[in-house]
């Protein structure tokens, strides 16, 4: 993954925040048939920076509004905030 980011820092010492993720999800969700969404395919969705940006929470709200089933894989207690 690091080779595709353009970061010089060692893996694990940087975070890319995709601040437009909820907007993109909102634009695309009606174009797709509903299906289970697995959140955490590559990295934990509840990294400490999530407390600042709340992007996972916003995406979950969009998925719930559209009745999409969701599976969340995390080690973080922050998930309790969103259930």
Amino acid 19: pLDDT: 96
**How far, in Å, CA of 10 to CA of 2, rounded?**
8
With contact defined as beta carbons under 8 Å apart, do 60 and 82 qualify?
A: yes
- Quick: pLDDT tens for 3-28: 667 888 887 888 889 999 999 999 99
Q: Specify the pTM.
A: 0.85
With contact defined as beta carbons under 8 Å apart, do 39 and 56 qualify?
A: yes
With contact defined as beta carbons under 8 Å apart, do 37 and 71 qualify?
A: yes
**How far, in Å, CA of 80 to CA of 70, rounded?**
15
Using pLDDT thresholds of 50, 70 and 90, give the confidence band for residue 72.
very high
Amino acid 1: pLDDT: 53
**pLDDT over 60 at 2, yes or no:** no
Amino acid 41: pLDDT: 75
Domain ranges across the chain: 18-82
């Amino acid at each position: 993954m690091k080779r595709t980011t353009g970061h010089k820092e060692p893996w694990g010492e940087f975070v890319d925040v995709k601040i437009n993720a909820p907007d993109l999800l909102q634009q695309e969700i009606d174009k797709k048939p509903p299906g289970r969404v697995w959140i955490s395919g590559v990295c934990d969705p509840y990294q400490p920076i999530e407390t600042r940006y709340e992007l996972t929470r916003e995406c979950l709200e969009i998925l719930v509004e559209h009745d999409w089933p969701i599976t969340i894989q995390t080690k973080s207690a922050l998930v309790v905030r969103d259930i």
